[in-house]
Structure 1
Amino acid sequence: MVVPPWLSVPPPGYGGLEQVVAGLVDALVERGHRVTLFGAGEGHGTTASFVSTIADLQYDRLGEALPELAHLAHVNHLIGPSDFDVIHDHTTIGPLVAGRRAVPTVASVHGNPVGEYGTVLSDTDRGVGLVAISHAQRRLNPRLPWVGTVHNALDIAGIPNKSTPADHGPVLWLARFSPDKGPDIAIRACRTAGLPLVLAGKCNEPAERRYYDEVIRPMLDDDVTVVLDADRTAALRLLVDARCLVMPIQWEEPFGMVMLEAMATGTPVVALNRGAVPELVRPGVTGLTRERAAELPGALRAATELDPAACVAHVAENFSTARMAADYEAVYLRFTAAVTVPGGMRGPTRVALR
């Protein structure tokens, strides 16, 4: 299992990819697999064996290419067919360099596979199969060498949840400060609905700070509480206390782990119906979806009519880490049986798998 060198697994706060990988690793070990996690830093919180390629996490260099390339070069030097049956890569650049490995690589795509990222993925090396994290994501670029679609999952053990609706709680927006995430729309929708709003945002990268200072800060008033860079414990408490999570997304969200986290705490989701939202939220049961921002205020007021227990059950039944591990295991088995890697170690050339 190869993760980027930016954050620990699991992460202390923001880090959906790392949270997913932590759950996947532990579930695969529970199924009897021997898993080695390649990352950065000095520690981790999973049941896998851990190999660090560099002593310090590289978060302060997030966005640069060289730290990830150096990390992957170390990984490629450390793996071999006598040690591993399959590599599962979660990095951005991994699909470009995985063709050097004498072991088949499955690569999960965690962003939208269009634009520059789509160009990178279109040059995926032989011996590499891409896995989508939602059907919506896969539809954005169906010509890529997809070998499966596996939804992300959440280990709900230990996650607090509420037994009754928080009908007096605030609306919660929990995301990174970006126009794609629609915090400005959340403010307008809550003001129209006459409801208080908590903006709990990741705001530690230059673009995020600039957007917050230039666009969001001038919109703030007494009806909006701002929480910057909350850790995971604080974020879960905000979710439990919220009447609903608002997701006024302005892009084709490839997944949206925060929706699972909200529902796992018993908090319904109110979202614009884009990206993977229809695959995660059951309208009228675990949340309310709308087509236009103007429809959000009414949905925010109505969200407390939904049953918290139904939200929790939906995540447990459909997005468990055990289910995710079983689905990935099936992808690993199909792919390794159907792919050629350098040296002709495996059977026929890559075939399209579903």
Structure 2
Amino acid sequence: MFLLKLLTRNALRHRLRTGLTILGITIAILAFGLLRTVVSAWYAGVNASSAARLISRNAISLTFSLPLSYLERIRQVEGVKSVSYANWFGGIYITEKNFFPNFAVEPKSYFELYPEFVLSPEDKRSFLADRKGCVVGRRLAERFGWKVGDSITLKGTIFPGTWEFVLRGIYRGAEKSTDENQFFFQWDYLNETLKKTVARRADQLGVIILGLKNPQTAAETSLAVDARFKNSLAETLTETEKAFQLSFVSMTEAIVVAIRIVSYVVIVIIMAVVANTMAMTARERIGEYAIFKAMGFRGYYIAGMVFGESLFIAMTGCAVGIALTFPVAARFGKVMGAFFPVFQVERSTLYLDVAFCLVVGLVAAVFPTWRAVRIGIADGLRRIG
């Protein structure tokens, strides 16, 4: 208790300097936490992927489709439990700024394959009964103030025209990591409209989703599906849902790497700030350390004071930074919800905050401690300033 009181008084002897140092650490920890959370949000879709699902698409590119007739042939593949399908719609709500993912899906099988999208039985029945019905995530509905029964109009880009929908249900995520910013409508509505307007684009699927009987057979099932359509006009590329999601993240890998580098540079900056503070402190107190030695205190006691003060400053800034990370991240996630539908501070980020601050506090005190311990009593008492 006495040592803690001594460390506190020493740390607050120059309150302005200590306050600015703690402020610098706080800002750095806040920046580090936000940067790490951005990286985590970038991989949110990958982390939320299920090992029990495969995605089959055109082997050339996602921009090429697959025939509807592939569904029955895929159902016959050993290891396949269930099959559904979807098309990326790419519709715009009022303006391009209002971006959100929107898909045409086969509603019954799709929601069976994705139990993380929780829809009430009443909303599900209403959605299935209305060909122009749609279902949206809770956060998306809150974003635009939509409620069940509202009419929603999307302007098509991939599928030109004005598309009218009626909101029949609002789903919630079964887990915190579930994306609640998506828009789903019935694939039949899209297909029937295409038959009347652009018949050559009808009966075409963007991706086919496969539910597996056993996740351990994912590799064998993928190969079996692709072998079935080898040398056809539309060969398939079947991969795990995680690999499918990673293919999108890989397109922006350079940005992710840059963010990670910046987050670690922030830690180096913290270390430099704290080291500078502790170096100034040790230089000012050389005379005091000499007096302690003259009174019989050993080097480990002096080292404990220097390390303790450094850790006190570093961990105080760490605690304040972590406390501020949550409200700032919540605000950032709300503003950037269209780009980061899942934006949550992970526990691993907090562990890294604490670990790095411990390292910073210890490393920053090494040189000042070395100077304080090695100084002779006579030399220390002669030092002024």
Place the TM-score, normalised by the shorter chain, in its bin. under 0.3
TM-score (norm 1): 0.26
Structure with more of its chain in helix, by fraction = 2
Higher RCO by CA contacts (8 Å cutoff, separation 6 or greater):
2
TM-score (norm 2): 0.24
